[in-house]
Amino acid sequence: MTESFRRSGEYENPQGPQGDAYQGAYPQQQHASSPVNPEWPPPPTHQPAVDGGQGGGYGEGTAVLPTVGPDAEHPAEHPAEHGTHSAPKKRPRGPIALLAAVAIVAAAVGGGTAYAFQELTGKNDVVSSSTTTSVVPSSKKGDVATIAAAVSPSVVEVNATLSNGTSTGSGVVITSDGEIITNNHVISGAQSVKVTTSDGKSYTAKVAGTDSSKDLALLKLQGASGLKPATLGNSDGVQVGDTVVAIGSPEGLTGTVTSGIVSALNRDVTVSTDEGQQQQQQGGGDGRWPFSFGGQQFNGDTGSSTTTYKAIQTDASLNPGNSGGALIDASGDIVGINSAMYSASSDSSSSSSDAGSVGLGFAIPINTVKSDLAKLRSGSTN
């Protein structure tokens, strides 16, 4: 810290002519015995203005100390011209500009501090496209091969063992330590759940939370680390005609990639929320998930207990096992969780080979998923 010494006569009223007044106010010699206050401003670079008249407004021979800052515009260069009048004030620029600059820097530091706090506390583990660079380079936007290579490591296969059979679906990695989003109907009633990543590693998964009203479930892998989380996009920005890519495990074929467009938005898709009904359908062997929209039933009976949500409709090929997988936009961001598909075969006794995709698939918007994460993480099981 810069220290300033009090000068002899600095706050006194020196007598004598103008030159003596200058010497009285700012003598050349400093006295070590004078008290030191480090908060005092440094001495001005110019000598102070002095009342040049006899018996001026500040008293006879009183030195007028300069203002520290840009107002001190060489007040003593022409003392005779000022007479008994003080120098005209000029508009201050330095302090205002300095304060503005400090405010800008403070805002930048504040934002960086908040981001660092989130990183340290782990309160923002889910990767959002608004805070990251693009998953796919702009020159490769919409390129299916590039999207598949970038996002496939973030999509897993989910195998649930039920009391009366098995259920196979897909899931999306949302944190590096193994949080997985999938459909509730994939794991409902499961006695155990296994998850296989794109590199072939297998993990035991615990059901952390479920929300049957949105057909969503959150899994937590045991002993997982270093996984590649997907980037969750903004489904509100999706438009009809947008290019989309679907990745999942149809018929247990892990990492299958299909592509298409968004063919409609805000479809009212109705699915079953009854656990017994879900187990019955999943144990039937054809892997098709019953749902309805427009007042019509598809892929079987949804039962008496149902829920309806707004879905993104796509013609990207979806087949049994795609449920819980990723619907991805041209930038590589997840915009939906694939949840239902229309099958041309309505006979419940038909085999899964007869239940192929006819270009009508439905996905839960990712903004619905993001708004539900806190509830799922809290352990909700409704």
CB distance 338 to 365 below 8 Å: no
Active site residue 304: no
What distance in Å separates the CA atoms of residue 183 and residue 139, rounded to the nearest whole number?
A: 33
Three-state SS at 252: helix
Q: Active site residue: 51, 152, 154, 185, which one? A: 185
CB distance 306 to 271 below 8 Å: yes
Active site residue 185: yes
What distance in Å separates the CA atoms of residue 329 and residue 135, rounded to the nearest whole number?
A: 10
DSSP state at residue 50: B
Active site residue 354: no
Q: Active site residue: 82, 152, 154, 215, which one? A: 215
What distance in Å separates the CA atoms of residue 320 and residue 318, rounded to the nearest whole number?
A: 7
First to last CA, the chain: 63
Phi-psi region of 300 (alpha: psi -120 to 50; beta: other; left: phi over 0): left
Torsion of CA 43, 49, 55, 57, to 10 degrees: -90
What distance in Å separates the CA atoms of residue 365 and residue 242, rounded to the nearest whole number?
A: 14
Q: Active site residue: 154, 323, 331, 352, which one? A: 323
CB distance 309 to 285 below 8 Å: no
Residue with tokens 């407004």: 57
CB distance 157 to 166 below 8 Å: no
β partners of residue 330: none
Catalytic annotation, residues? 185, 215, 323
